[in-house]
Structure 1
Amino acid sequence: MKYSLAVYRRSLSAAVFAGAIAATVAFASSAQAEKLTIIVGGMEKQIYLPATLTERLGYFKDEGLDVELINSRAGVDAENELLAGSAQGVVGFYDHTIDLQSKGKFIQSIVQFSQAPGEVELVSSKYADALKTPADFKGHTLGVTGLGSSTDFLTQYLAIRNGLKQGDYTLLPVGAGNTFIAAIKQDAIQAGMTTEPTIATTLKTGDAKILVDMRTPEKTVAALGGLYPAASFYVQTAWLETHKEDAQKLTNAMVKTMRFIASHSAEEIADKMPKDYYVGDKDLYVKGLAEGKAQYTPDGRMPKDGPTTVLQVLSSFSKTVKGKEIDLAKTYTTEFVDKANTTLDAAK
């Protein structure tokens, strides 16, 4: 009996010790999981919806990732935070990869969310009779989210494509949402570029009308001359070279989201989003999402010839891009989305 009790005690001690070791290993593995910070150039904007949706669907956690999404007023601000090392990635417009390369800085889009900007140039209803095309921008103040932002880039291109030159108009950074709406109402701007749900809100109140619509691939081609890959997930090239495993996991999660968007209705997608994103009107949010849903890529891949269009747009007015030798192959990669899609297809 004493012998059996001794054996039992030794077995119990071994079991406790083994459990402690297992717990220690689990804790160590958890502690080693690097927290990844992603800055989004406006989380409430529908153009950047895939970032929050990925989190809400639990896809980051499914990949064993600890991801924090941080909201930013504009894509250009998020870009600066990335370059400063405050984040591992940014959800913003692809055009920043070209703009930065022209300045000797290298970032890459690894997941492409959209093939159209999802932006609309709105004109204040007070000026709708005078401002009928971008050619009428002359002498007016135009709202953009921020100077150096993608709305800045696109606004300048629309002006130049319609025969104007820099200096014929004034750009004013007004952000998005309530600040954009206030700028329209207070006549601080006569027209401006913004996204959903701000578009639907101003149209419903009658404060503004659509001047140029770039929410679908077809309308984007008409306005810009080609597909314009816009919302994307990009990282610094130097980080990507040393964090390929993290990059693949992030891509896996986001590609699953793009496929979710492609296979679900606007209402089903809206149901997954935070209620405060509806700005008090879910039906209006769903309407805007339905009208712009075609902007999203179905699989996270870069649309063919899209980068060339973006380069042409920036080269038309940007003093830093014009005349520079830009290597588009270094502005994006499909390595990770290709692998993610292959894995998902095989699992069907």
Structure 2
Amino acid sequence: MQPTSRKIRTFALASALLFGMASHGAMAADSGKITIMVGGITKLIYLPAELTQQLGYFKDEGLDVELLSQPAGVDAENELLAGAVQAVVGFYDHTIDLQTKGKDVKAIVVFGQVPGEVEMVSTKASETLKSMADVKGKTLGVTGLGSSTSFLTQYLAGQHGIPSSQYTMLPVGADASFIAAIKQARIDAGMTTEPTVSKLLATGDAKVLVDMRSVEGTKAALGGTYPASSLYVQSAWADAHKADAAKLAHAFVRTMQFIHTHSAEEIAAKMPADYQKDKALYVSALKASLPMYTSDGKMPADGPATVLKVLSGFNPAIKGKHVDLSKTYTNEFVAAK
């Protein structure tokens, strides 16, 4: 059973389109409720969203916030652009990708200074797939096509001179569906996050190929810090709702400070029970994830340039194009109080 204290539902894009997303977005805005779509609410990379709700920090700011969950970040992005939600908890790299498509979106709080993503190789395939240099002809799992996991997969393979035409990217979602894809050998390897990583390691079904849960591992893989999980909004919404944006940012900054001043056990105790069916494993996964979180919600100084470099490495829509990074994020709201 799901706790009544939280409002989470899977929001299907196709269904929303049928009922008219734009009107839904207008009604949500008029009602005073702020709806946030999370790109997989049980993922530890997005833990600040639910933790803020559980700690009561949204209410402390006088905000009525509803959290929705959509497993792939690219689908959450579509909900935002359609006006069905006011904000997304997803990867910062979408703001750069969207700018090249004429969409003005910016991150107003940064939760993760690194992706927290891990390329896992199935134990069955590990004999022939020992690094990203071996992915030619293989099937690689991503949460969704056009998602941040697909961006990172293409970059890591491209570093070894392997274009996406020489392997298959299969959207398999996250958590249980990702684990099933590994066990059923539908993918040889794939990119996922905690607690899925720890679950696969515990059962012996997969091994770590590339680890981007720490600053050190991320710098080794990508050449710098890679701001990832964040709260992003349409710039026009932030301009028109500065007070609400500042309140959201302040609530999340309090949560980031809570994370940095409490143990994994104390943080886990605040989270819903159905997020941690194996509590010991959840706490262990959380401990492994703590280094990824920012303490103040601010954008790391070298982060945007690293993300642009990664995206430019394989994405023809971005390569060679001018991107104004100053428009893809702001520290204005996290510094407002």
Q: Please, what TM-score do these two structures have when normalized by structure 1?
A: 0.87
Once the 2 structures are TM-superposed, how far is the Cα of residue 166 of structure 1 from its aligned partner? Answer: 2.1
Corresponding residue for 1:6? none
Identify the match of residue 301 of structure 1 among 298, 301, 319.
298
CA distance in 2, matches of 1:266, 1:217: 19
> What letter corresponds to residue 188 of structure 2 in structure 1?
Q
Once the 2 structures are TM-superposed, how far is the Cα of residue 121 of structure 1 from its aligned partner? Answer: 0.2
Q: What root-mean-square deviation, in Å, do the aligned CA atoms of Structure 1 and Structure 2 show?
A: 1.1
1:317 aligns with 2:282: no
Identify the match of residue 330 of structure 2 among 330, 333, 336.
333
Gaps of 5+ in 2: 1-29
Q: Which has the larger radius of gyration?
A: 1
**SS of residue in 2 equivalent to 1:235:** strand
Corresponding residue for 1:134? 132
Q: How does 1:181-330 map to 2 (within 5 A)?
A: 181-278=179-276, 280-330=277-327
Corresponding residue for 1:12? none
1:126-150 superposed Cα distances (whole Å, 9 cap, x missing partner): 0112111100011100000000000
Identify the match of residue 155 of structure 1 among 138, 153, 156.
153
Question: Which of the two has greater helix per residue?
Answer: 1
Corresponding residue for 1:98? 96
Once the 2 structures are TM-superposed, how far is the Cα of residue 319 of structure 1 from its aligned partner? Answer: 1.4
Corresponding residue for 1:5? none
Identify the match of residue 79 of structure 1 among 74, 77, 80.
77
Q: Please, what TM-score do these two structures have when normalized by structure 2?
A: 0.90
Once the 2 structures are TM-superposed, how far is the Cα of residue 335 of structure 1 from its aligned partner? Answer: 0.5
CA distance in 2, matches of 1:87, 1:312: 29
CA distance in 1, matches of 2:244, 2:313: 36
CA distance in 1, matches of 2:161, 2:278: 39
Once the 2 structures are TM-superposed, how far is the Cα of residue 164 of structure 1 from its aligned partner? Answer: 1.2
Corresponding residue for 2:143? 145
1:248-287 superposed Cα distances (whole Å, 9 cap, x missing partner): 0101100000000011111111111111111x21111111
1:172 aligns with 2:173: no
CA distance in 2, matches of 1:249, 1:306: 24
The percent identity for this pair of structures is 65
Does structure 2 retain, via aligned residues, the 8 Å contact 1:33–1:65? no
Once the 2 structures are TM-superposed, how far is the Cα of residue 33 of structure 1 from its aligned partner? Answer: 6.7
CA distance in 1, matches of 2:289, 2:157: 23
CA distance in 1, matches of 2:315, 2:177: 27
CA distance in 1, matches of 2:300, 2:231: 14
**SS of residue in 1 equivalent to 2:166:** coil
Does structure 2 retain, via aligned residues, the 8 Å contact 1:98–1:331? yes
Q: How does 1:99-114 map to 2 (within 5 A)?
A: 99-114=97-112
> What letter corresponds to residue 251 of structure 1 in structure 2?
A
> What letter corresponds to residue 311 of structure 1 in structure 2?
L
Q: Which runs of 4+ in 1 moved over 4 A?
A: none
CA distance in 2, matches of 1:166, 1:49: 31
CA distance in 1, matches of 2:87, 2:321: 26
> What letter corresponds to residue 287 of structure 2 in structure 1?
A
Gaps of 5+ in 1: 1-31, 341-348
> What letter corresponds to residue 86 of structure 1 in structure 2?
A
CA distance in 1, matches of 2:203, 2:164: 32
**SS of residue in 2 equivalent to 1:110:** strand
**SS of residue in 1 equivalent to 2:165:** coil
Corresponding residue for 1:58? 56
> What letter corresponds to residue 111 of structure 1 in structure 2?
V
**SS of residue in 1 equivalent to 2:47:** helix
**SS of residue in 1 equivalent to 2:335:** helix
**SS of residue in 2 equivalent to 1:171:** strand
Once the 2 structures are TM-superposed, how far is the Cα of residue 165 of structure 1 from its aligned partner? Answer: 1.6
Once the 2 structures are TM-superposed, how far is the Cα of residue 161 of structure 1 from its aligned partner? Answer: 1.0
